[in-house]
Amino acid sequence: MKRQMKRQMNFENNDWLVNDHGQLEVCPVVEDQWENSGQTYRLYRFLTDIEDILWRYDDDRQRLEQIRPLVRRLLNSSYWLQGEYKAPNPERGWSVLTLYEEPDFPLTVQTVVWLPGRKSKIHNHATWGIVALVNGQEKNVVWRRSSNKSPKKGFADEQKPSDRSDQSDRIEQVGEQIINPGDIISFTPEAIHHVEVVSEEPTITFNLYGLTNYKQRYTFDPINHTAKLF
């Protein structure tokens, strides 16, 4: 079931990037002249522009730099997207509504809702990602591998996920950032974080992800120093 938000949020606040080393970078918010054009920036055009960027750039940081302004443009122009979400099951505490996903195309567009007081597992995404907050307030807690190493390629294939434990899975918390409506935070593939809802109302986010490498996507246990396939 989809629910419609009454409020329309103007996206013109802050941008951040969490990189593979756990550094939280402040990114410049690019001034966009699209609103002065009098045209509506529609989803189909957004998807075409994203495809062009993915073909033009191989580097994930460059891709994110190019895509972030388009996410802000889309949400400012096509307000209906801010109201497309699915009410979460109270027991589960969160929900995902897929707005766009297509075979053989490296892009997924979703809206995600978290109920107050809930938090996610510590995880990476194994792809680039962009999250724009539409409603509520959330805390992004950033982690990094203590050994400053990426997971061993092929290790997850050799052992069961529950058996995976080595120095590269030891993580430490290195920072946090409160995200407010209108803010955008982006992630490189090996960035590690978890989110906590700190508002008294649910958080609603507009999420955009590239092609996930599921053999390298993990949830992390900072107490036992283990990682399991997500």
Place of tokens 């539409």: 134
DSSP state of 119: B
Contact yes or no for 185/18 (Cβ under 8 A): yes
More confident site: 200 or 36: 200
pTM of the model: 0.87
- Domains of the chain with bracketed CATH: 12-223 (2.60.120.10)
pLDDT reading at 151 higher than 90? no
CB 216 within 8 A of CB 227: no
pLDDT of residue 104: 85
- If pLDDT is split at 50, 70 and 90, which confidence band does 5 have? very low
Q: Using alpha carbons, select from 84, 109, 107 the residue that is nearest to residue 98.
A: 109
